[in-house]
Amino acid sequence: MSQPTTQEEWIAQFKQDIADHHVFVYSKGPKNAAMCGFSHRVMELFNHLGVDYQVRDIFSDPMIKPALVAFTDWPTTPQVFIGGKFIGGCDIVTEIFQNGDLQELLEETKP
């Protein structure tokens, strides 16, 4: 598939990203080179846990952010998906990491 050019094409791409990867992060910046502290924190948590995750940089195309917001109805990034489900952003991921639910969720949804 070529680079998406419409909101509908981007939403189809998001669905494919999420279906193809157990853990997917839409972030400000590429994997392990985040351009904001919240995206960095999420990647740091997944790296700490040894999680295999993929990232799509929302800055790589100006159409990504508005399409992503339309898809999730969540205005901020990063946006984290685990096991095909939208989990939330940095605050939620950090909270569920601290209480042990993230590790449990990762194990329960492992392919």
Domain ranges of the chain: 7-108
Question: Is the pLDDT confidence value at 92 over 80?
Answer: yes
Q: Which two tokens stand for residue 36?
A: 């904001």
Name the average pLDDT for the chain.
95
**Residue at token pair 């109805």:** 73
DSSP label at residue 35: S
Distance CA 49, CA 10 (A): 29
Confidence at residue 100, expressed as pLDDT on a 0 to 100 scale: 95
Q: What would the CATH number be for the domain defined by 7-108?
A: 3.40.30.10
Q: Which two tokens stand for residue 96?
A: 């569920």
Question: Is the pLDDT confidence value at 2 over 80?
Answer: no
Q: Dihedral of CA 53/48/35/84: which sign?
A: positive
DSSP label at residue 59: G
What pTM value is reported for the model? Answer: 0.95
* pLDDT tens per residue across span 39-78: 999 999 999 999 999 999 999 999 999 999 999 999 999 9
Rounded average pLDDT over 84-108:
97
